[in-house]
Chain A
């Protein structure tokens, strides 16, 4: 066994030495085992996440024909594809979590209330409701998902559940870009006090429904959120 070494960039006053592996002479892995979610809990969360991503993809697809603003139509095209990819990669994680080989297409709402929130988000259809359509996705649901995905990445077992973290990292990166795009569009569309007020009102309504449902995992506000 070699002598204890300092991590690169640290000094003698810091207690961050490590014992190199004898075989490889590389720093020891300081991560600890045991996260907040076991296999079953992670599988349930992944199915919940996939439910939200799949429904967002479907409703944005339906909206394209009902939205008159050309840049919104074309911008949604890419968001739809990346949201579908998010649902797809989450689905591919399910068989790895003992959900069965055919589970890649499985989605599950955490509860009936969340399923109703999704239907409320999908409700606007007439061409004069672009703001109402976009607010629910880009001001509320996608930001909520980023928050929950980030929390999941922090709290799950960093080694055992690393594949889920990898998937969520990629989804969060793209979702943040979607939110920026959507909010920029909304800032431009909401060019009067009445429209800004409609945006805030719709966001508040959806946020309240989301909170009441417990969010994408059904645990928002509880100890397990």
Chain B
């Protein structure tokens, strides 16, 4: 078996539909400009269309066009929202495939770095078991909210962060960038579960969040260890983590704003070993992308154009 694989090589059963990662990358680099966002998303239409047809999101595409991706990502998820059920299933499915890729990433770290320190291998082996349980947990939670595996397409952009050939960069990207994002998302899911009065979801997500803190700690410790006395390697690892954080901000969906779709989980991140400087930098990075107001305005234009093209009646307000 060769060492170092790419995200295209991840093996899936026939239920899964693969989505190209272009939208995520574009979103991470967009300016705070309505016209630029509209233009970028109109160009992305064929890609988003291809990744949506045949999935449970197809009715959203028909109704709102490509703008549905902007709205589902950037609006906070609350139980009384009009489209909460669909968006909850989308988010659960996204977390489920994210956990799957985290399992695969931890497993690949065992194979790709045979000469790494034994304690590192032990941490990665433990993470394999944890992520495997998370996959099982989210598969069950997905069914709990009326969804199923493969109902939405899978973007493998999380696994892309698990591909560097330097273990320092890999743990910086996966254990600090990806698992840090998991802390933010799961803290938000706990708020949702609390508001919805869903005790099953609340308890399960709380356990998973506890595991994620441990994984971030693995990352914090191993970045330090791998880059000890090697400032260049440390810089490369930190730069990579910043790049991952920038991508995982989803154009401002995860941010320090109190009304962000996914607020930064400050306390959880501190407990996991993020320093105040790193958190300040994350907040700054998350403010680089377009504002929620800009994204909403772009979505309104995209929806109006889509409905006009399809001969559908205009909507007074886009609610999803």
Q: Are B131 and A122 in contact (CB under 8 A)?
A: no
- Complex-state Cα separation, A57 to B123, whole angstroms: 12
Other-chain contact of B111, A62, A74, A83 (Cβ < 8 Å): A62
Pick out which of these stretches binds chain B: A3-11, A64-72, A173-181.
Answer: A64-72
A60-B107 in contact given A66-B5, A69-B13, A70-B13 (Cβ < 8 Å): yes
Q: Are A67 and B129 in contact (CB under 8 A)?
A: no
Q: Are A59 and B111 in contact (CB under 8 A)?
A: yes
Q: Which of B130-150 contact A (CB under 8 A)?
A: 130-133, 135-136, 139, 149
Closest Cβ neighbor of B110 among chain A residues: A61
- Complex-state Cα separation, A104 to B119, whole angstroms: 10
Residue in B9, B104, B125, B159 whose Cβ sees the most chain A Cβ within 10 Å: B125
Q: Are A84 and B125 in contact (CB under 8 A)?
A: yes
A76-B132 in contact given A66-B1, A88-B122, A124-B1 (Cβ < 8 Å): yes
A68-B12 in contact given A59-B1, A62-B1, A77-B129 (Cβ < 8 Å): yes
Residue in A57, A85, A124 whose Cβ sees the most chain B Cβ within 10 Å: A57
Assign chain A's interface to a size class. 35 or more
Other-chain contact of A77, B103, B109, B118 (Cβ < 8 Å): B103
- Complex-state Cα separation, A81 to B122, whole angstroms: 8
Please give, as numbers and ranges, the residues of chain A lying within 8 Å of B11 by CB-CB distance: 65-68, 127
Least CB distance, A144 to chain B, in whole angstroms: 21
Least CB distance, B51 to chain A, in whole angstroms: 19
Assign chain B's interface to a size class. 35 or more
Q: Are B114 and A81 in contact (CB under 8 A)?
A: no
Q: Does A78 contact B (CB under 8 A)?
A: yes
- Complex-state Cα separation, A65 to B5, whole angstroms: 9
Closest Cβ neighbor of B112 among chain A residues: A62
Please give, as numbers and ranges, the residues of chain A lying within 8 Å of B124 by CB-CB distance: 61
A-side interface mostly: helix
Q: Does B2 contact A (CB under 8 A)?
A: yes
Closest Cβ neighbor of A130 among chain B residues: B11
- Complex-state Cα separation, A76 to B110, whole angstroms: 13
Closest Cβ neighbor of B16 among chain A residues: A68
Other-chain contact of B122, A70, A84, A122 (Cβ < 8 Å): A84
Please give, as numbers and ranges, the residues of chain A lying within 8 Å of B13 by CB-CB distance: 68-70
Shortest 7 CB-CB distances between A and B: which pairs?
A77-B132, A62-B111, A61-B110, A84-B125, A81-B129, A64-B107, A127-B11
Interface residues in chain B, defined as those with a beta carbon under 8 Å from any beta carbon in chain A: 1-3, 5, 9-13, 100, 103-112, 114, 117-118, 121-122, 124-126, 128-133, 135-136, 139, 149, 159
What would 23 A/B residue contacts be, using CB atoms closer than 8 Å? A57-B121, A58-B114, A61-B107, A61-B108, A61-B109, A63-B1, A64-B107, A65-B5, A65-B107, A66-B11, A68-B11, A68-B12, A68-B13, A70-B139, A73-B132, A73-B135, A74-B132, A78-B132, A81-B128, A83-B125, A85-B125, A91-B118, A124-B1
User: A63-B107, A70-B100, A77-B103 given. 11 additional CB < 8 A pairs?
Assistant: A60-B107, A61-B108, A61-B110, A62-B111, A63-B1, A64-B108, A66-B1, A66-B9, A68-B13, A77-B133, A123-B1
